[in-house]
Structure 1
Amino acid sequence: MRATFLTCLALALPGFGLADCPTSKADLTSGVYLTSDSSESIRYRSDPQGHVLVESFPMKDFVFSYLATTMFGIYQLQEGTAYQGETMPDSLARMTYALPTGNLPEPSAGLAFHSPVQVNDDPEQPVMFVSVGLPRPVAFGDCSYDTLPVLARMVSNTEDYIAKFDYIPQLGFAVEWASGSFAEGVTVKPGLKLSLTAPEGMPPP
């Protein structure tokens, strides 16, 4: 009876039996993976400069990918498209903000931040607005976290783009769970799951 009771107690503890769930920022060193009920898979990694690298594979054949260098998974610093692991030079875009990269604010409850964004040498500078709500629990598959809801909005003369995230302070990055336009609404990504195991067939970084 005692062994059964202890087993049940252990199973009730947060994180028990969820060895494949990311638990700390250190997991970004080897990679954290997001899958969904659609065909998209994402790999999150860190680099020595403290950036979060977000590599998105839109199809299960993993031929094309989009790689973004970000702060916290929210502020894009560089993005580009790759074919079979080779970056297409013409696809590269670099972004700068009113603040130095290291001063871009980490999401915190109640944060409201905005900045013009310089994209390559484009004379038009869209403005990025970031607002952060109150903490809430969110589950990504079997992995549950205390998160901060983040709304990011990019406004220019030609577009009004919205992305919705859940920032996970424990892991140091945000998961985008919906995106779209202010006028037409957003599309929600279905069935998001976090894991330390790469999806089958995903090429190494």
Structure 2
Amino acid sequence: MKTVLLGSCLGLLSAGAVWADCPVAADLDKGIRFTVNAQESETIRNYGDGVLLSLYEVEGATGSHVLLGQGIYLLQLMDIEDGKPLASTRSTYAYAMRPSEMPVPTPNGGWNAQYMSEGFEAQSVEYVFGALTKQSFGECSYDMIPVDAVYQPAGDHEILHYFPELGLSYLAGYYDNGKLERYSYVGISAVE
């Protein structure tokens, strides 16, 4: 009898780990938060019409306010100071299509696009989508597509992690003078 009870308890513990309270795409209505440490986090939520809002905050006071088409394509970027976006730092990237019409990333695919930025200068960006892999945050594991984004003519190069199940991405790193600077996220949760 003890063996049967012990086996049942172990089975329940295993099921609990599988049924961890992991965020799903529907949680974007209130927000999904990725944590770096006790002071830094990135919260991503629906903004409307195929756009997500990403707030990267350091101690709730500074950071960045970013709008992303289809949860990945940079549309607008502003600094945050004293908890508020600074309009004077806004950079806007306008594409020839609505954000909801932009392609959803697929493994081993890509997308080249033209966009207009400040000063009405035509520029381009190449997105290269890598092979599907897995990424875990504690007990929560998701399919992930690594993405290289290269902006021309400046040559800026970013590394993104796109999660198809959630429909969002975050900046995982960028090249600064040829050296890769990485961001590491350790936790994920739904905003209550």
Instruction: Report the TM-score, using the length of structure 1 for normalisation.
Output: 0.81
**Residue range with higher mean Cα deviation, 126-135 or 92-101:** 92-101
Post-superposition Cα deviations, 1:29-87, rounded to whole Å, max 9, x if no partner, equal: 11111111495311110123231110111x22x21231111123321112222333433
Question: Counterpart in 2 of 1:52?
Answer: 52
Are 2:33 and 1:33 aligned? yes
Following TM superposition, by how much is the alpha carbon of 1:151 offset from its aligned partner in structure 2, in angstroms? 1.2
> Could you tell me the percent identity over the aligned residues?
21
1:175 and 1:87 mapped to 2: Cα distance? 19
2:48 and 2:113 mapped to 1: Cα distance? 25
Following TM superposition, by how much is the alpha carbon of 1:123 offset from its aligned partner in structure 2, in angstroms? 4.0
2:164 and 2:55 mapped to 1: Cα distance? 20
Bigger helix fraction: 2
2:9 and 2:116 mapped to 1: Cα distance? 56
Question: Counterpart in 1 of 2:100?
Answer: 102
1:1-205 to structure 2, matched below 5 A, reads: 1-13=3-15, 16=18, 18-19=20-21, 21-22=22-23, 24-37=24-37, 39-57=39-57, 59-60=58-59, 62-120=60-118, 122-156=119-153, 159-181=154-176, 183-196=177-190
Instruction: Extract unaligned runs of 5+ from structure 2.
Output: none
2:104 and 2:184 mapped to 1: Cα distance? 26
Bigger strand fraction: 2
Q: For the structure 1 residues 11 and 132, does the alpha-carbon distance in structure 2 shift closer, same or farther, using more than 3 Å as the test?
A: farther
Question: Counterpart in 2 of 1:203?
Answer: none
2:147 and 2:127 mapped to 1: Cα distance? 7
Q: For the structure 1 residues 50 and 113, does the alpha-carbon distance in structure 2 shift closer, same or farther, using more than 3 Å as the test?
A: closer
1:15 and 1:115 mapped to 2: Cα distance? 42
1:87 and 1:176 mapped to 2: Cα distance? 19
Describe the SS at the equivalent of 1:126.
strand
- Residue identity opposite 1:162 in structure 2: H
2:190 and 2:99 mapped to 1: Cα distance? 28
